Amino acid sequence: MDLKIEKVFTLFNDASREKTHPIAQKAAKEISKREGEKEKIEDLQRRIEEFLERVNRTTSIRMRYDEEIDKVIVSIIEAGTEKVLRQIPTEEFVRFIKMYRKTLAMIFERIV
């Protein structure tokens, strides 16, 4: 090990024992900051898991393939009532695509 690097390690170790040296204080602050961040991350993960459990109890996801528009339609359904809370793509878009394809087919039939 290089003597300069060894000296830095020695200074850091001496400073960390004293807890008064600026390097030691900065290191202690960084360590406590990271521990605080770790607690925040764990708390956030716990909250997300709780939220997903509640969502999974009250909703379900259904997927179906619509051959007419050649797309997969994903629906989020409310448990119990079977009410569609959200659909991707939206029902309006599905109707638009179906009408567009019918209109396009009629145009090409007339041309040919």
What are 91's strand-pairing partners?
none
Are the CB atoms for 77 and 62 separated by under 8 Å? yes
Q: What is the Cα–Cα distance from 55 to 48, expressed in whole angstroms? A: 10
For 10-46, give the secondary structure using H, E and C.
HHHHHHHHHCCCHHHHHHHHHHHHHHHHHHHHHHHHH
Q: What is the Cα–Cα distance from 70 to 104, expressed in whole angstroms? A: 15
Q: How many Cα atoms within 13 Å fall on the side-chain side of residue 100?
A: 7
- Please determine, for residue 87, whether its predicted confidence score (pLDDT) is greater than 90: yes
For residue 103, the surrounding DSSP H or E stretch is: helix 91-111
pLDDT 10s digits, 12-64 = 555 445 455 666 667 667 767 777 777 888 888 888 888 888 877 888 889 99
Question: Domain map of the chain by residue range?
Answer: 3-111
pLDDT 10s digits, 39-53 = 888 888 888 888 888
Are the CB atoms for 87 and 73 separated by under 8 Å? yes
